[in-house]
Structure 1
Amino acid sequence: MHQPAPDRPRPRVLHLTQPVDGGVARVLTDLVRAQLTAGLHVTVGCPDGPLTPALLALGADVRHWHATRSPGPALLGEVRRLARVIEDVRPELVHAHSAKAGLAGRLAVRGRIPTVFQPHAWSFEAVGGVTSELALRWERWGARWASRVVCVSAAERTTGVRAGVAGRWSVIPNGIDPERFHPAAAGTVRASLLPDVDPAAPLVVCVGRLCRQKGQDVLLRAWEGVLARVPGARLVLVGDGPDLDELRSRAPASVLFAGAVADTVPWYRAADLVVLPSRWEGMALAPLEAMACGRPVVVTDVDGARESLPPGLAPHCLVPPQNPAVLAGAVTGLLLDPPLRESLGHQGRRHVLSTHDVRRTAEAVAGVYRDVLGESAATLAVPTEYRESIHS
């Protein structure tokens, strides 16, 4: 165990992120909380959005960095603005999250400061055609400016290696807070969330940004098959995003749109089943959060998503991507089998507690920082009480 050195200041860490919502923001928030608890000097550079007040409430230093979600003509100005933030903060380590911050951050730093890049799903998988080829070329080139590439799943690392991205790799699965995400009776929660819905109606919940990646359009195509065998079922899409209007125009009356919510926990607890029909993932938080709440899940067999499941759940909970018929069959089968759902929920929670506790994630990231910074990071350690609570 690393003991803090009283005469040595703790390292200054600068996190960079764009986007500022969704799973990346939640991962970053948990990591910043742990690092502040460890006594690090933590600054986050990010655009304005819901992430800023959450970080300020934790006590983090937040620097405004105006940046769009996708690369484009504004990139040069974004890099220049980011360089000014870096010059002002003078970090000893930069940790860039997701594709856009990874692009701008590495261009601004260019290896002059130890840099950790965490893709949270590869940029070249999110697009097609010429754009995908350009993204892949950048990732191959930009890897030289990353002291370490942190992947959230072994499959994400394998995808990078096979694509020709060379670098020093670490695999650190996403974690969730089991003290926040834990089981509770569905009845009372459901009545408060959906007062006009029959409390006995089978309820499926999908939590995620409404966009092509998350595959809600595939779920809507599957939903017709679910209703054919479970006529009273209801589906709730929790989240907001660019596909909202298109999805709403195609959805039958049994599909409800909850919009973006500050707290997803009640929706997991209200669900009989949580579904994530993604086309690609790094490692989604929604299945982990749902399983921590004791709810069974159905996810698509894509990188990261399959690794979020314990082996025993795969036969019931893993379906091929973009296959509405198979997805409908899996959802229907679980809705019609309450004992199996209960068993899968118990298995999923045990798996999350043993493998995906956010404190393990924070400790693993601290290990990467120590390795990257060497002797200068002797004070960088998760506090003993924080680490020991993982096993309590």
Structure 2
Amino acid sequence: MHLPATGRRPLVLHVTQPVDGGVARVVADLVRAQRAAGLRVAVACPDGSRLAGTLRALGAEVHDWPATRSPGRALPGELRQLRCVLAATRPDLVHAHSAKAGLVARLALRGRVPTVFQPHAWSFEAVDGTLAALSVRWERWSARWTSRVVCVSEAERETGVRAGVHASWSVVPNGVDTAHHRPAPPAEARSGLPLLSALPASGSDASEGPLVVCVGRLCRQKGQDVLLRAWPAVVRRVPGARLVLVGDGPEEARLRAEAPASVLFAGAVDEVVPWYRAADLVVLPSRWEGMALAPLEAMACGRPVVLTEVAGARECLPPGQEPVPVEQPGPLADRIAALLLDPALRARLGTEARAHVLATHDVRRATEAVMEIYRELLAPEAASGPRAVPVPGAGADAPRRAGSTGRSRSAEDARSVTGVRALWGATGVRGAWGACVAAPHAAVCAAHLPETVRTRRTDHAPGGGSAPCASCAVRAAHTTGAEATECRESSHT
């Protein structure tokens, strides 16, 4: 890592929300490697979380940033709090993880510090219709405040490119600690998991009956509902088969109500490795991903996996293995049953899986690739090179890439700003917040972010009404029907 001329060790600030699941494990891996490399590392995340404790144990400075997963009325306060963290830490580089952290960090920094954004799956894939279009506009707009967008798969990068996000890209596939995630006999692992005794099996011994494990947050993205719909067909073909869902989340109550007796809910666990080792097969039926970490961890433990055809699936599977279609219980059940009925095939696929992860997804490869990105962004020539310059008519704090005339993208700029304002107003947050994030209006009016984003096929409904922006008196929700219209206020374009 390049050190500044002063000899001061660079300080990297990671900003993260969520604080569980694969994203949290990625952040912990990066912090561990960066501390070992001699960097000063700070993390802004909700205090009191399991992640915060892990990071402190690794020697990182942890700053409380009590952000929620969803955008909403809490956003102005979250932005103020992150600005306080930035003022206290004065980082040399900021690395924001996932949509919420990427939103708030880029609003707070606006390109003034080298900023890395890692989506860990694009937010606009989680929503439909108007909100999806507005989320895309936000990503297009905020790319100018992003020194590098780091994707975990080429498919994730291609999704961003197709959406019109003009960015400086790097692809760094997820990696796992292959020394920690290593094979062990299933029977040995099962004996250390007393929860398994609650599952009915073909005999009285809880270690009997093939075991399928699904590790992931219990939410729509991870597709456990599809797996539960497939499960009766699996049990008909493989009597005694058992399923364990490891994790918790907003869909837990509904999934429990739908689950048959041969399904166990293990809840959130501190250590997932014993569950991978106990499994005969690991399944992740996601609806969308960037590149899921759980399958890589399972493969490192020598277990075969079944994945759906989402971003990163083909890139993480060993050559010759194929994912199954998304949201189709029939093909999912067929693949699971076929593997449960063929122990020799499972053993061969598990051996291939371990070898594949060792060769291509070791965590040391991933963390070093991120360090190389930091080196590029903190190098003296990067610091003295072309800087972001103002977009004509957009205010001093709305930078664009140097070298652009501003003409070819001016219309898109206007549409992007309008789209972002419409996103803020999608739920009609009442009241206003000061000077709209204390930024020029073209940089984004953040007082009106939706508290609840309508996800695909859920019952979450946004609130009604709209509220004027305190500084510009422009209505928050510039939407007609399903499309956002351009804001005609001259101060905004």
TM range (shorter): over 0.9
Q: Secondary structure at the match of 1:68?
A: coil
Which letter does structure 2 place at the counterpart of 1:121? A
**What's the CA shift string for 1:325-378, capped at 9, x where partnerless?**
000000000000000000000101001001111101111001101111113899
Q: Secondary structure at the match of 2:337?
A: helix
**Aligned counterpart, 1:257:** 265
1:5 deviates by 9.0
Sort the Cα spacing of 1:95 and 1:247 in 2 relative to 1 into closer, same or farther, 3 A.
Answer: same
**Aligned counterpart, 2:141:** 141
| 1:353 correspondence with 2:358 | yes
**Aligned counterpart, 2:248:** 240
The separation in 2 between residues aligned to 1:61 and 1:201, in whole angstroms, is 46
The separation in 2 between residues aligned to 1:241 and 1:372, in whole angstroms, is 36
**What's the CA shift string for 1:47-94, capped at 9, x where partnerless?**
121111000000100000121111112212211111111011000100
Displaced runs of 4 or more, over 4 A: 2-7
Which letter does structure 1 place at the counterpart of 2:329? P
> For the Cα contact (< 8 Å) 1:153–1:307, is it kept in 2?
yes
Q: Secondary structure at the match of 1:195?
A: helix
Q: Which runs of 5+ in 2 are unaligned?
A: 200-205, 384-493
Q: Secondary structure at the match of 1:257?
A: strand
Structure 1 segment 309-348 matched on structure 2, within 5 A: 309-314=317-322, 318-348=323-353
TM-score by length of 2: 0.74
> For the Cα contact (< 8 Å) 1:178–1:292, is it kept in 2?
yes
> For the Cα contact (< 8 Å) 1:153–1:283, is it kept in 2?
yes
Q: Secondary structure at the match of 2:321?
A: helix
Which letter does structure 2 place at the counterpart of 1:286? A
Which letter does structure 1 place at the counterpart of 2:30? L
> For the Cα contact (< 8 Å) 1:114–1:147, is it kept in 2?
yes
Structure exhibiting the larger radius of gyration computed from Cα positions: 2
> For the Cα contact (< 8 Å) 1:126–1:213, is it kept in 2?
yes
**What's the CA shift string for 1:123-169, capped at 9, x where partnerless?**
00012222212211110100000000000000000000000001000
The separation in 1 between residues aligned to 2:71 and 2:130, in whole angstroms, is 14
The separation in 2 between residues aligned to 1:92 and 1:365, in whole angstroms, is 15
Structure 1 segment 140-179 matched on structure 2, within 5 A: 140-179=140-179
Which letter does structure 2 place at the counterpart of 1:203? L
Q: 1:370 aligns with which of 369, 372, 375?
A: 375
**Aligned counterpart, 2:296:** 288
TM-score by length of 1: 0.93
**Aligned counterpart, 1:390:** none
| 1:207 correspondence with 2:215 | yes
| 1:104 correspondence with 2:109 | no
**What's the CA shift string for 1:250-299, capped at 9, x where partnerless?**
10000011000000000000000000000000111110000000000000
The separation in 1 between residues aligned to 2:169 and 2:141, in whole angstroms, is 15
Q: Secondary structure at the match of 1:311?
A: coil
The separation in 1 between residues aligned to 2:231 and 2:106, in whole angstroms, is 43
Q: Secondary structure at the match of 1:15?
A: strand
The separation in 1 between residues aligned to 2:86 and 2:265, in whole angstroms, is 40
Q: 2:310 aligns with which of 297, 302, 306?
A: 302
Identity of aligned residues (%): 67
Sort the Cα spacing of 1:284 and 1:183 in 2 relative to 1 into closer, same or farther, 3 A.
Answer: same
Structure 1 segment 177-192 matched on structure 2, within 5 A: 177-192=177-192
The separation in 2 between residues aligned to 1:196 and 1:72, in whole angstroms, is 40
Q: Secondary structure at the match of 1:27?
A: helix
> For the Cα contact (< 8 Å) 1:272–1:335, is it kept in 2?
yes
The separation in 2 between residues aligned to 1:55 and 1:231, in whole angstroms, is 44
The separation in 2 between residues aligned to 1:85 and 1:131, in whole angstroms, is 30
Structure 1 segment 30-109 matched on structure 2, within 5 A: 30-48=29-47, 49-109=49-109
1:3 deviates by 8.4
Sort the Cα spacing of 1:96 and 1:3 in 2 relative to 1 into closer, same or farther, 3 A.
Answer: closer
Which letter does structure 1 place at the counterpart of 2:100? K
1:320 deviates by 0.5
Sort the Cα spacing of 1:5 and 1:128 in 2 relative to 1 into closer, same or farther, 3 A.
Answer: closer
**Aligned counterpart, 2:280:** 272
The separation in 1 between residues aligned to 2:86 and 2:310, in whole angstroms, is 36
**Aligned counterpart, 1:27:** 26
**Aligned counterpart, 2:399:** none
> For the Cα contact (< 8 Å) 1:369–1:377, is it kept in 2?
no
Query: How many matched pairs?
Result: 374
The separation in 2 between residues aligned to 1:18 and 1:356, in whole angstroms, is 24
Q: Secondary structure at the match of 1:72?
A: coil
Q: Secondary structure at the match of 1:313?
A: coil
Q: Secondary structure at the match of 1:96?
A: strand
The structure whose RCO (Cα within 8 Å, separation 6+) is larger is: 1
The separation in 2 between residues aligned to 1:91 and 1:253, in whole angstroms, is 51
User: Alpha carbon RMSD of aligned pairs, Å?
Assistant: 1.6
> For the Cα contact (< 8 Å) 2:21–2:216, is it kept in 1?
yes
Which letter does structure 2 place at the counterpart of 1:323? Q
1:313 deviates by 2.0
**Aligned counterpart, 1:18:** 17
**Aligned counterpart, 2:239:** 231
Structure with the higher helix share, 1 or 2:
1
Which letter does structure 2 place at the counterpart of 1:153? S
Which letter does structure 1 place at the counterpart of 2:280? D
> For the Cα contact (< 8 Å) 2:4–2:10, is it kept in 1?
no
